[in-house]
Chain A
């Protein structure tokens, strides 16, 4: 039997890492547990802690039986520590240790680097739960409410996964980091979360869908890169998290698509063909396509900042050390060491964009970002199909990578969405037309009214094509307890 297929489901913490036989780590996690539950109750979904939610719980790592659907009260969700099965005789797939057996313990020389990567990844998980905690009161349907909570509990489980690694492999420092993960707060003035996008508010459901589409997709890319790691426990942890992360992509991708569907449907019914007739479209109680485009502009640009500097020594070091690989490293065909290779980087030099070949090792952040942009485009293509099918002459698009950036090559300049460099004055005038403004926010907020009747949906969003777990349309995904 592959190692780690057995799930111990009886203890306080379901796991397939042999916690029962590891008294030190078990005790550490059991000590951490009450603080986590307190955090969940304080900062988790507001107002629904007693409701019964039809949730998926991971109960195994074998694809044939890995998840179970049932009604659960969120604070009683089984937050397990699950690692994908070990790959026998796995070798470090890249960097200077390429071909050596993977590490089951932290190599001393990379301890600080690994701890930092795991802590940053861990910090994003509770942050998004905090950002989304008020959304439950305005959910457009019980279906969407359930999807929100599913995303939330799984982000919680991902926090557990990272905390397990910290406790198991990083001693006192790991324990301190684990405590800090519960102490920071998204958007807090004094103790904010570590990354910028995770301190932004998620004020409405369109933002939520955009966040899960764009920002969770960054999470997916980071997890894909860490899943390649030569530190095997991290690789196995991330591989299993990715199967859950796919659901988060789905919520964002299908969420925006349903908004677009409903908008074009209402436009067709009303005989509106001009997507820029914003006032006309808003009278129909749906979100006009230009506003959806503005939300894309905002969330895409904020998320690009999460990839860090295009040219980065840290990224080069992490790759060289065999700690963090490239997106789907195992599918790439090159020497996996990149000592001689170069990579083209779009740079801003002297008021102009130029493409410059730089050592591939230092351009790894950009490379991951490029893979990310391509991944985003696949969603945009599908949304545009809906618009095209409805015969409306409008296409959604990703803005230029230099647009509205605060980190990296383009932090110091302003551009329009096509990437034309503009001065401060022009930017001040342009902003309200390319990013959501107060009027847009007010309008969207006015649509955010909870719909709690099973099978019903708010007027600004279409019903999904398929239910969760193949449930029928009027299934009561959340039994709300007031």
Chain B
């Protein structure tokens, strides 16, 4: 059987966090009441004209610099014509041949291997409105209603080179890109809500070939999981078509998450002819060096820099650091916690372990996590100082999730302080030796396992509070 190489490129649309829309002064804020954040401009009323929001350019430059692009000095806007009811003028204002950013890259790491993925371009454009269907789905609805609240919201489209060779690489690229957009604060990156959207171009070619296969565009990928599953499904589908002697067609398919398949979208007439041409209602945007350098100087710390800092400053392993920086909120939580924590790796262990498990289980993000960084730091310190055993620390953590109390207070309330008092421990040691002569004899006969049993008995008597280290040490001394 022929072996194939997968070729993937991603087109990512990010809604910008501007106050107002791209070309009119309507609020860009999300609202549930249809057609309330609208004006003559974004309703496409006769006679209205677009005026560009400066912040759109600012954000596009910032995103471009963050992914190592060259910012283009001469910018113009073009009209991309197609008829669809959610598009109020039936053309989208976009940038065709003079995009604001060119030739960038994002570095990814999959299974320990570093790889550089090219960013072809970033351009500015506007979002469309939304269709609300009368029935459950678009195809079962007799009619729909159009809501133009999102119409005209500013977008940037980030187009990658076809440099990815697996679904995991695509996922890593997307995760890194999302983190960058979050760090630079240009997009709120809510994939489920559609503020960050991804289309994947997928093709396969025989291993060793230089010419790419026929490319299929997959739409509707609104989670990392969907991205990975859709690509994996699509690659298998393409292989099957070729194995059966079929021919692939260049088409757009949509990801059906419920059934785990990609479906061919209804072929609209023939190929789309967008009839791009310059939009004479807008004038060119000239970006000078001073503007670019100011934005560059104001760039916040980016995920890669932050990862390096966490490794260097806090001695975190690369794996820990990469996961903590992958979401801005997690990284900020970490930075806040280590201000008072005595053990950075301890904080990392909590975040990567129990905290992540809890968040996943609850289906929430760290921004919604109730335990404060200071409290988590205190918990780490209680363990570090030997006040709590790691087992009891987990118990305290469970209590912290229930009520907003400092771990120190909870430890007292629940009477969980570790007993490190020599007298008290000695009492337990003597008691236990007296009650278990056989085990003492076994130990003296050189059976090391016996000491484990005796320690267990002492811990049981102390309800887990005795300092295990001290118990071990004093037991040994007593039995010598």
Q: Do A and B come from one complex?
A: no
B interface residues (Cβ-Cβ under 8 A, vs A): none
